[in-house]
Structure 1
Amino acid sequence: MADVVYLHVGAPKTGTTYIQDRLALNRTQLARHDVRYPLGARGDMFHAALDLIERPWGGMLPDAKGEWDALVKRTRRAHGSVVISHEILAGATGEQVERAVASLAPAEIHVVLTVRDIARQVPAEWQERLKHQGRMRYGKFVRRIQKPRSEIGRSFWQVQGVTQVLERWSRQLPPERVHVVTVPQPGAPHGELWRRFCRAIDVDPDWAPLDSVRRNPSIGAPESAMLRQLNDRLRRTRLEHADYRTLVRHLIVHETLATEPVQQRITLPPNHYEWADEIFESWREWIVGSGVAVVGDVEDLRPVRPAPDAIWHDPDRTRPRQVADAALDALVAMIEEAARRDDPDEHLSVRVTKAAKRLRER
């Protein structure tokens, strides 16, 4: 059994894709220093995390049954320290946290939470929901999350509420085994988040020299408006979740819309920064008062207000021409995919996956 297990539990949209890919790329080099990242045949830890938190996730839960136990078995076979990482673990309930910690005993458990300021998390979370067939307007989303008892508010704070997540995951651990890694503000040196994460898991960054090029990219206001409207139209169809993932989320969003520089970045509405400052103060008070280990600077979590003359781009009020341009880009990608279909009997998701691979190779 591993001596130490680091549970990196999120939060979503805090550089987790980059961290996980860099861990995976450097598995062999890290193992030479007795640091294991025990991926299974699936190549990531999503299904194991999904099995633990037991969410439907677009019909994927049945396929995840037994994956957490399989991850625990791989961890038990390892020596030295082990890193387990997936951002949806942030949403685990108290009972699920107890199951996770108990299943990994008697290893010394550490919890790591990467944290980003709320002003950047709000638009990022809204966009992520759009990529999962969301249809809610941005303004309504911002208002709803400020009502914690609303359905949207509960689901948002379950994973983005720093104090709530830490309270659940730190209940059985001493403060020195709970690590808060702050995500640097824009302009920080490249790799700073990785170096901070390495300090949290007691790893020399030089042990993992291969850098990651993977990102979970953002799209701009017109592209987001187009995607929201597309989702609204698609709800009238019988498109399967698997086909949506490959056709819309992967091919249209990641491989087409997100490949261009963002011209109109979505930010927090200007009149909500006082609320964001209140969230920061509550986070800072809890983190400092709890005595948990902080890697980075808590001040990185303070929302940065835009310049007084900055133009705010409202994704609910985009110009029709700009939305149409985004829609045409998506249509071109779909036409290219359709033209490359080799076998009319091949399942749609398989065809689109092959098409996406060809687009990446262009």
Structure 2
Amino acid sequence: MVANHEQAKEQGLLWPGPAWKAHVEAVGELRELERGRQLEPDGPWLRLAREAREWPGPRVLISMEWLVACRPHQISAAIESLAPGRVEVICTARDLLRTFVTQWQEMTKNRRPWGWSQFVEEMLANRPGPVCRAFWWQQDVPVILRKWGKLVSSERVHLVTVPPERSDPELLWQRFCSVLDLDGTSFLSPRHTNDSLGVVSAGLMQRVNVRAIDQGVADADYKQVFQGTLAINILAGKRGAEQAIAVSEEVDTWIRARAERMVKKLRRLDINVVGRVEDLLPGSALEGREPDDVDDAELLDACVDALVSLGLSQLQALQRARAKNQQLRQQIAALRERNVALSRQPDARGVRTRIRGAMSHGRAGVGRLIHRRGDAP
């Protein structure tokens, strides 16, 4: 939606921000709101809400996956901040089998240290703890919809189902647009996609996470280097050369049974389903292999490839910095020449303008404009 916010505006839909970062920061602040506390008046959520309230058009879209984890008091705060506007909820969901493997590899891109065996064991045992909590807070669709449905009337709660595999790739987008009364046929496709990792790369990232945590890598540094550069820019690009993640027959059976129970609960909810609730039942078995089947030789090859790619990335960054420095040097040289010329040619009022550029030891300095009246000393 970021790339198409202007086209959306023409149809009466505001995507506030419009940068994606504005939605991330806003929902992040909302999720941290403690019971009994108020949102910061100039904080990211209320800035976004203020933009939404001031929009003269009929619709505003705020979208970020962390909204599913909001607690009741956080949901209330969000709704109150958007009054007198009418809040509607749109939840997208896909079948549990694809979700199961996708969620684990997403965890490996987000600093989670849990190996595949631990993830599977704790999920099948429904063991209370961080693994199950990290999965179900985003994926227990009936719980999510009931939670929001307590504060938003049922006719304003929409479940958009992801079509089965081999469906028209535009069908999900069409379903989503139908809820927004939006014609998205002419919208641009996003330039960046959140590509999944292959089975080898996901295993490599999980091991990187363990070491990063052991060495105390800060969250901000992790996001920039390990998540942004390594996982997203490098390893995700190797997805086509790797096998996908699959599950064992035991896990497949467990997931299908759990999905059946979830669909039965959803059928009992009085909500608007866009698509079919049966879309959330797994189709054919996944092709690929389990992460634990990846051997050390494959991980070593992936590690070497990643190191080379990281090195090339650093070289490209260095080349860009050198080019920028050269450009700044040329600009400063031009300013110096102009300074000399202007200092020799006073204007009719006796005003001289001097432009000083500073550069020492080959480094670009700061240009300053100094305006003086009267005779030059």
Q: Taking structure 2 as the reference length, what is the TM-score of the superposition?
A: 0.77
Counterpart CA distance in 1 for 2:179 and 2:75 is 20
Alpha-carbon distance change, 127 to 249 in structure 1, aligned in 2, over 3 angstroms: same
Given the alignment of the two structures, is residue 265 of structure 1 paired with residue 244 of structure 2, yes or no? Answer: yes
- Which residue of structure 2 lines up, in the alignment, with residue 12 of structure 1? none
1:74 has 2:77 as partner = no
The answer as to 2:106 corresponding to 1:128 is yes
Partner of 2:128: 149
1:321-340 to 2 correspondence within 5 Å?
A: 321-340=297-316
Contact 1:115/1:301 (<8 A) preserved: yes
* Contact map agreement 2:158 2:274 (CA 8 A) in 1: yes
Using the alignment, how far apart are the partners of 2:127 and 2:177 within structure 1? 33
Aligned-pair CA distance for 1:42: 6.2
Tell me how far apart the structure 2 counterparts of residues 269 and 169 of structure 1 sit (CA, whole Å): 34
Unaligned runs of 5+ in 1: 1-22, 56-62, 346-362
Q: Does 1:256 align with 2:251?
A: no
| Residue aligned with 1:108, SS | coil
Deviation at 1:267, TM superposition (A): 2.5
- 3-state SS of the aligned residue for 2:88? strand
- Counterpart among 86, 90, 96 of residue 112 in structure 1: 90
AA aligned opposite 1:333:
S
Are residue 171 (structure 1) and residue 150 (structure 2) matched? yes
Aligned length: 312
Q: Please state how far the C-alpha of 1:25 moved relative to its aligned partner.
A: 1.5
For residue 316 of structure 1, give the secondary structure of its aligned residue in structure 2.
helix
- CA shift for structure 1 position 104: 1.3
1:103 corresponds, among 81, 105, 109, to: 81
How far apart, CA to CA, are the structure 1 residues paired with 2:52 and 2:158?
20
Question: Against the structure 1 CA distance between its residues 64 and 233, is the aligned structure 2 distance closer, same or farther, given a 3 Å change threshold?
Answer: farther
Q: How does 1:157-236 map to 2 (within 5 A)?
A: 157-206=136-185, 208-236=186-214
2:2–2:19 CA contact under 8 A, matched in 1: no
CA offsets 1:37-89 (integer angstroms, 9 cap, x no match):
1115665410001011118xxxxxxx998111111111111121111100111
Q: Match for 2:292: what amino acid?
A: D
CA contact (8 A) 2:22 2:48 kept: no
CA distance in 2, matches of 1:88, 1:43: 13
Matching residue of 2:348: none
Contact 1:38 1:84 in 2 (8 A): yes
Which one is further off, 101-110 or 83-92? 101-110
SS at match of 2:87: strand
Q: Secondary structure of 1:180's match?
A: strand
The reply to whether residue 313 of structure 1 matches residue 292 of structure 2 is no
Residue 238 of structure 1 and its aligned partner are, at CA, apart by 3.7
Question: How far did 1:266 drift?
Answer: 0.7
TM-score by length of 1: 0.80
Superposed CA offset, 1:192-221 (max 9, x none): 111110112222223x52222321111111
When structure 1 is superposed on structure 2, of 92-101 and 145-154 the one drifting more is 145-154
CA–CA distance in structure 2, aligned partners of residues 320 and 148 of structure 1: 29
Check the 8 A contact 1:40/1:71 in 2, yes or no.
no
Confirm or deny: 8 A CA contact 1:273 1:305 kept in the other structure: no
Residues of 2 paired with 1:279 and 1:329: CA distance? 38
Deviation (angstroms), 1:331: 0.3
CA-CA distance at 1:150 after TM superposition: 2.6
Task: Return 5+ residue gaps in structure 2 as ranges.
Answer: 34-39, 322-377
Task: State the distance in 1 between where 2:282 and 2:41 align.
Answer: 37
Counterparts of 2:103 and 2:19 in 1: how far apart (Å)? Answer: 29
Letter paired with 2:70:
A
Show the counterpart of 1:13: none
Which fold has the larger relative contact order, with Cα–Cα distance below 8 Å and residues 6 or more apart in sequence? 1
Distance 1:236 1:144 in 2: 22
Matches for 1:272-351 after TM superposition, within 5 Å: 272-306=251-285, 312-340=288-316, 342=318
Determine which structure has more spread, i.e. the larger CA radius of gyration: 2
Identity of aligned residues (%): 28
How much is the aligned-residue C-alpha RMSD, in angstroms? 2.5
3-state secondary structure, aligned to 2:159: strand
**Is the alpha carbon distance of 1:98 and 1:334 closer, same or farther for their aligned partners in structure 2, counting shifts above 3 Å?**
same
Question: Residues of 1 paired with 2:244 and 2:23: CA distance?
Answer: 30
2: CA distance between counterparts of 1:64 and 1:45? 16
Alpha-carbon distance between aligned partners in 1 of 2:196 and 2:103, rounded to the nearest angstrom:
10
Residues 49 and 64 (structure 1 numbering): CA distance in 2 closer, same or farther, change over 3 Å? farther
